[in-house]
């Protein structure tokens, strides 16, 4: 039995209510969660927060809220866990003030996902930000995998295109193209929702 089959079996058991299978499944996903957390935290937050703490929070929330998971395959589980991760990191950004805008690092696409950035919003702004964040997260999950990875590394991890290209195993020019395509697709999709 390969790893994918084992994970699929654990997921099937967890869906039947087997808490031990769920715990084992989430434990198997911890290295992937850690990799995702490191990429999303960015350099500023990594200086203040240990990725292991984020992974622990994700693991706990996923375990506690598994009854809310409506999927039936590993890809859907990963997307659901990733959404939990993004919510936790967004909360961390708000708490740690890592979201203050820096004019020196303005980049095309920043306005698109301003709802993912924290600050000191009023309650009504916070509600609108939460709605925008949910729309952006859903749109991000629909991006092709490489575009989504480039977006994560560029936007959340705040990496230069040269480093993004190295991590994705593409040229720097290709990384820029993937970034541009991701921004265009997200912009088109999100603007389409308002028409």
CATH number of the domain residue 112 falls in: 1.10.10.10
Question: Considering 98, 116, 135, which residue would you say is the last residue of a domain?
Answer: 98
Whether residue 194 has pLDDT greater than 70: no
> Between 36 and 98, whose confidence is greater?
36
pLDDT value at residue 139: 81
| Reduced 3-state DSSP string for 68-123 | HCCCCCHHHHHHHHHHHHHHHHHHHHHHHCCCCCCHHHCCCCCHHHHHHCCCCCCH
In a shared domain, residues 68 and 109? no
Report the CATH number at residue 15: 1.10.1740.10
Whether residue 46 has pLDDT greater than 50: yes
Do the beta carbons of residue 98 and residue 42 sit within 8 Å? yes
| Reduced 3-state DSSP string for 164-179 | HHHHHCCCHHHHHHHH
Structure tokens at 169: 């195993």
Domain span at 46: 1-98
In a shared domain, residues 82 and 138? no
| Rounded Cα gap, residues 187 and 27, in angstroms | 36
Whether residue 103 has pLDDT greater than 60: no
In a shared domain, residues 119 and 82? no
Question: Considering 68, 98, 128, which residue would you say is the last residue of a domain?
Answer: 98
Q: How many domains does the chain have?
A: 2
> Between 140 and 193, whose confidence is greater?
140
Highest-confidence range of 12-26, 74-88, 109-123, by mean pLDDT?
12-26
pLDDT value at residue 126: 58
Question: Considering 83, 98, 113, which residue would you say is the last residue of a domain?
Answer: 98
Whether residue 20 has pLDDT greater than 90: yes
pLDDT value at residue 4: 75
| Mean pLDDT, residues 108-118 | 48
DSSP code at position 159: -
Do the beta carbons of residue 61 and residue 102 sit within 8 Å? no
In a shared domain, residues 8 and 93? yes
| Rounded Cα gap, residues 175 and 98, in angstroms | 25
In a shared domain, residues 20 and 82? yes
């Amino acid at each position: 039995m390969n790893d994918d089959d084992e994970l699929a079996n654990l997921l099937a058991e967890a869906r039947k209510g087997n808490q031990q299978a769920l715990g084992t499944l989430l434990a198997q996903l911890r290295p992937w969660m850690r990799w995702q957390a490191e990429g999303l935290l960015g350099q500023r937050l990594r200086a203040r927060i240990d990725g292991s703490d984020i992974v622990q929070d994700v693991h706990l929330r996923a375990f506690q809220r598994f009854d809310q998971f409506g999927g039936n395959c590993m890809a859907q589980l990963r997307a659901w866990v990733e959404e939990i991760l993004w919510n936790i990191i967004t909360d961390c950004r708000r708490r740690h003030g890592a979201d203050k805008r820096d004019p020196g690092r303005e980049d095309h696409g920043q306005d698109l996902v301003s709802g993912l950035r924290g600050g000191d919003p009023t309650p009504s702004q916070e509600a609108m930000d939460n709605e925008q964040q949910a729309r952006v997260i859903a749109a991000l999950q629909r991006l092709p995998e490489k575009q989504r990875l480039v977006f994560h590394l560029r936007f959340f991890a705040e990496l230069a295109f040269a480093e993004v290209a190295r991590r994705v195993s593409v040229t720097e020019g290709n990384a820029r193209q993937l970034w541009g395509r991701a921004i265009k697709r997200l912009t088109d999709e999100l603007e389409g929702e308002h028409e």
